[in-house]
Amino acid sequence: MGFTLPCISSALVYVRLGTQQDEVVRLFTNMGLTIVDIRQAEQRIKSYVSETPVMTSRRMDAQAGCNLFFKCELFQRTGSFKFRGAVNFLAKMRETMENGRVPCVVTISSGNFAQGLALASNLLNTKAYVIMPNTAPKCKQNAVKEYGADVILSSPTLQALFKARDQVVQKTGAVYVPSAQHYDVMAGQGTLCTEMIEMIDQKLDAIIVPVSGGGMLAGVLIAAKSLQPGIQVIAAEPEVADDCCKSFVAKRHIKTDSLPFTIADGLRGSIGDLAWPIARDLLDGGITVTEDEIKESTKLVWQCMKLCIEPSAGVGVAAVMSDKFKAAFPDVKNVGIILCGGNIDLDSMKTWL
């Protein structure tokens, strides 16, 4: 018996029309991130990161009506793709330091980048301070501490979070490491895409990317469009945190100062100033999904693939399962989906199982 998703038809879809490949190539020359940066990041971080598997499922293919290839970043160190960008940032910084030592660092993160930076700092022998919203799951707060970072809790507003960061910088002299808005972070995240494409025998028609700050989206866009011209890259967002899709439709960067509540807690942030121009020029479309769709798609992966993904990873799955995805992208047969993490808050999970 198949596993059906209730209310899946409520997904919203946005599609770019008529972008020519020569125009895409021209746009590459105006961006601060290139495939060369991503290839260099691969070499820089290969001794630190895990090569995560690409998995398939006949049951999932049958549900979606196309061939799905799941890049399992839940098996990455710290349980998410975020470690790639964090360790690339620090390792590259070390290359520029005369003594080869990385100064102490600070970041703002709801959990996954916090864990990634905490471990990266530990491996590169430096101190990390992490500003977390006090709404961040306890499991992620505890994990950050276990990796050796100091956790500083703040009210979940951008103003409060950045004020707390500034206080740490003034007190300690720490270097701020953005969770997404830095090309070195984006380059690190982009390595998951080059890795995925080179692991799959068949040519991908599309990749679905869950979006928050946009660091992974930017890295995937540059990597995918460089290695497979003509591939479609599609953003997936919770409908309550859909600033990337709104910006895409409006053709201008729409910012928000709030952190909306969504079960996909890793996708609460807004697409940033560096990531947005790359998305604006290269993104092929976007799909938003409801909270119920996220829950059911997350459980679908648990049931069919036995993979314990977090709800943020379920967003991309919900997108590809939607009827509107099939209608908007009818010629797509082979789809890559990034299962971005597996850091589940067991306490909150009990409320929606």
Residues with catalytic function = 82, 110
DSSP H/E element including 328: helix 323-328
DSSP H/E element including 15: strand 12-15
CA–CA separation, 253 and 244 (whole Å): 8
**Of the candidates 183, 184, 189, the residue with the CA atom closest to the CA atom of residue 90:** 184
Question: Coil, helix or strand for 242?
Answer: coil
Q: Phi/psi at 327 (nearest 5 deg)?
A: -70, -40
Residue 2 CA neighbour count, 13 Å, CB half: 12
**Of the candidates 167, 181, 182, 195, the residue with the CA atom closest to the CA atom of residue 50:** 195
Which tokens hold the place of 201? Answer: 């025998």
Which tokens hold the place of 330? Answer: 């009818």
DSSP line for 78-117: GGBTHHHHHHHHHHHHHHH-TTS-PPPEEEE-SSHHHHHH
Residue 247 CA neighbour count, 13 Å, CB half: 27
